[in-house]
C-alpha cells in the first residue's frame, strides 16, 4: 500500500489538532502548542493544542459531571455495547486514514501500523461483547438472608498513554473504562498525540456523551502529575517506564486511587535444543525487531542452548542483516524509524557501553542512514554476543532494535537466567517438547509466556507484568474488574424482625 493509496480517501491528517473537553474541540487556555514530527523524515506533521493545568481541571470537572450527573453510566448495558461497536465500525471505515496518521506520527512500518490499528478496533468489539456478561453474583447465605453483588463503575479515570503504541494503548484503556460506565481523561504522549485525539473525536461521533471521553495532550510533569494527584480522579491507568510508574504509585497513594501499571521489561527468549530452529529464528526476529524494538515486552534477551547455538546464531544474524529499513509506507519495510533523536542517542549509548565492556557486535551497532530519509531517526537492527549478566545491556531496558544473545546448558540454567531480572513482563519458549514447554512456562516469573509463537497480545488475553513490570491486567475480561467496584448487598427476608442484641 502506497502513501497515495492511503490518502485517496479523505485524510484525517491536518495541520492542527485541538483538545477534546466536554464534547468540544477547544484551544489550550494559554495558547501553547506541541509540534509533532515524522520520525522517518524529521519533518513537521502537525501542531497540537497543549493542555495546561487549567485545561486539565476543566477536563476532570467535565468527566466528574458526566459521571455523577450524566446518562452514560445509567445506560442499559446493551446500549453502551452498541456505542462501542459503532466506535469500532467508524474506525474500520476510516482504517486507511488512521493507519496513515499513525505512521506519520510514529515512523513505524506499514505492517506494524495496520496490525495495531486492527487490534484497536477489535478491542472495542471485544469489550462491547464482554460487558454483556460482566455482572455480580448471588452468594449462599445462612438462614433467611440473601446476598448478591453488583458491579459499579469506579468513577473518573486518568489514562496516561505511551508513545510507542499511541492508538492501541488508548484503545486498551478507553474501551474497558467506558464499557462499564466510567468517564475518562486521557493524556496521550506529547510525541504521538494525533491518533488518540482522532479516537476521541470518533467516540463523540459514535454517541458517547459529552464529558465521558476527554483528551488532553500535554507534559507528564504538568498534566500527568495533576491528574494523578487530583482528588476527583478515582483511578489511574499508566503504561510507560518503571521509574515513572513508581512515582505515579507514590503520588496516587495520597488519595488512595486505584492504580494499574504496565511498565518496563527485559523479556527472555529461550530456544531449546529440540526447537524448530527456522521457526525460532523467525519468531525471535519478530520478538525483538517488531515496532523497531520499541516495545515493553520486546524479547531482548535471547538464550540459546549450547548444542544449537552456532547454527541458530548464524541463521539469526544472516536474517537480521536482510531486514529492510526504508519508507514506512512500503510493504517491504520490516523495521521503521526510532521515535526521535534522543531515543537514538539512548540506544547508541547502550551499544557503545556493551563494546566498552567487551561484548561483540554481530550485526548493526550504529545509527542507520536510510536513502531518501536522511533527516529521520533510524537505528540498525543490532545483535550483541559475548555478554554476561552483569553488563548494562543485559540488565537494563534499551527500548530499541537491540538484542543480546547468550548460551545455556540445560533447562535449570535457562530458567535461572530468564528470571535473573527485576522485570517480569513477557517471555518466550521454543521447544517441540510440550511437557518441557509447560514445565518451563510455569517457572518463568513473567505475566506473559509465548510458546512457539512470537505474539504476546490478542483481545481477550491478559497482558501485564510481574515484579517491576507493574501490576493489573489489560486487554481481557478481568480488566473490567479494574474499572469497577464490587458492592455487596445483604437482605433479610424472615417473617420475624431481627433483635440481635436481645434488648
Which residues belong to the active site? 262, 296
Phi, psi of 77 (to 5 degrees): -55, -40
Using alpha carbons, select from 451, 441, 436 the residue that is nearest to residue 419: 441
| Separation of alpha carbons 21 and 31, rounded Å | 15
3-state secondary structure of 154: coil
Residue the block writes with cell 469506579: 154
116: which residues sit within 8 A by CB, 6+ positions away? 102, 108, 165, 167, 168
Q: Which three cell numbers stand for residue 463?
A: 497482558
Residue the block writes with cell 557501553: 353
Whether 165 and 119 have beta carbons less than 8 Å apart is answered as no
Residue the block writes with cell 478507553: 174
CB atoms within 10 A of CB 79: 12
H/E run at residue 61: helix 53-69
| Separation of alpha carbons 57 and 16, rounded Å | 22
| Separation of alpha carbons 148 and 487, rounded Å | 8
CB atoms within 10 A of CB 137: 11
4-12: which pairs have CB atoms within 8 A and are 24 or more residues apart?
A: 5/96, 6/96, 6/97, 6/99, 6/100, 6/329, 7/97, 7/100, 8/96, 9/94, 9/96, 9/97, 10/97, 11/97, 11/100, 11/101, 12/94, 12/97, 12/98, 12/100, 12/101, 12/198
| Separation of alpha carbons 262 and 257, rounded Å | 16
| Separation of alpha carbons 317 and 402, rounded Å | 12
Phi, psi of 461 (to 5 degrees): -100, 130
| Separation of alpha carbons 261 and 244, rounded Å | 10
3-state secondary structure of 304: strand
Amino acid at each position: 500500500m502506497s502513501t497515495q493509496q492511503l490518502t485517496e480517501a479523505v485524510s484525517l491528517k491536518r495541520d492542527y489538532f485541538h483538545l477534546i473537553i466536554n464534547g468540544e474541540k477547544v484551544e489550550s487556555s494559554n495558547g501553547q502548542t506541541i509540534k509533532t514530527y515524522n520520525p522517518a523524515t524529521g519533518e513537521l506533521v502537525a501542531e497540537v493544542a497543549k493542555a495546561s493545568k487549567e485545561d486539565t481541571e476543566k477536563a476532570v470537572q467535565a468527566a466528574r459531571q458526566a459521571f455523577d450527573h450524566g446518562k452514560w453510566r445509567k445506560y442499559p448495558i446493551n446500549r453502551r455495547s452498541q456505542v462501542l461497536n459503532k466506535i469500532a465500525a467508524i474506525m474500520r471505515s476510516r482504517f486507511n486514514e488512521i493507519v496513515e496518521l499513525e505512521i506519520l506520527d510514529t515512523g513505524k512500518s506499514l505492517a506494524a501500523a495496520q496490525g495495531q490499528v486492527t487490534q484497536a478496533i477489535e478491542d472495542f468489539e471485544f469489550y462491547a461483547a464482554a460487558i454483556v456478561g460482566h455482572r455480580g453474583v448471588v452468594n449462599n447465605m445462612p438462614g433467611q438472608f440473601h446476598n448478591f453483588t453488583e458491579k459499579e463503575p469506579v468513577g473518573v479515570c486518568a489514562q496516561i498513554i505511551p508513545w510507542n503504541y499511541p492508538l492501541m494503548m488508548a484503545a486498551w484503556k478507553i474501551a474497558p473504562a467506558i464499557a462499564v460506565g466510567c468517564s475518562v481523561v486521557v493524556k496521550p504522549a506529547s510525541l504521538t498525540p494525533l491518533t488518540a485525539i482522532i479516537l476521541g473525536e470518533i467516540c463523540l461521533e459514535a454517541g458517547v456523551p459529552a464529558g465521558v471521553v476527554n483528551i488532553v495532550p500535554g507534559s507528564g510533569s504538568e498534566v500527568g502529575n495533576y491528574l494523578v494527584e487530583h482528588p476527583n480522579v478515582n483511578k489511574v491507568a499508566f503504561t510507560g517506564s518503571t521509574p515513572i510508574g513508581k512515582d505515579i504509585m507514590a503520588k496516587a497513594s495520597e488519595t488512595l486511587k486505584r492504580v494499574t501499571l504496565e511498565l518496563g521489561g527485559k523479556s527472555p527468549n529461550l530456544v531449546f535444543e529440540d526447537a524448530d530452529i527456522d521457526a525460532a529464528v523467525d519468531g525471535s526476529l519478530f520478538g525483538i525487531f517488531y515496532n523497531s524494538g520499541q516495545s515493553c515486552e520486546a524479547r531482548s534477551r535471547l538464550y540459546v542452548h549450547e548444542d544449537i547455538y552456532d547454527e541458530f546464531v548464524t541463521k539469526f544474524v544472516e536474517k537480521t542483516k536482510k531486514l529492510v529499513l526504508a519508507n514506512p509506507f512500503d510493504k517491504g519495510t520490516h523495521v521503521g524509524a526510532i521515535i526521535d533523536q534522543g531515543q537514538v542517542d539512548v540506544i547508541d549509548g547502550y551499544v557503545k557501553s556493551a563494546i566498552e565492556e567487551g561484548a561483540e557486535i554481530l550485526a548493526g551497532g550504529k545509527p542507520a542512514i536510510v536513502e531518501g530519509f536522511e533527516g529521520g531517526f533510524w537505528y540498525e537492527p543490532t545483535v550483541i554476543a559475548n555478554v554476561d549478566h552483569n553488563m548494562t545491556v543485559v540488565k537494563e531496558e534499551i527500548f530499541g532494535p537491540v538484542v543480546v544473545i547468550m548460551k545455556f546448558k540445560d533447562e535449570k540454567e535457562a530458567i535461572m537466567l530468564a528470571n535473573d531480572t527485576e522485570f517480569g513482563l513477557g517471555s518466550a519458549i521454543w521447544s517441540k517438547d510440550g511437557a518441557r514447554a509447560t514445565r518451563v512456562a510455569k517457572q518463568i516469573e513473567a505475566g506473559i509466556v509465548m510458546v512457539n509463537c512470537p505474539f504476546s497480545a490478542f483481545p481477550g488475553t491478559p497482558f501485564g507484568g510481574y515484579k517491576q513490570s507493574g501490576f493489573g491486567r489489560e486487554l481481557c475480561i478481568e480488566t473490567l474488574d479494574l474499572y469497577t467496584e464490587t458492592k455487596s448487598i445483604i437482605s433479610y427476608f424472615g417473617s420475624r424482625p431481627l433483635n440481635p442484641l436481645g434488648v
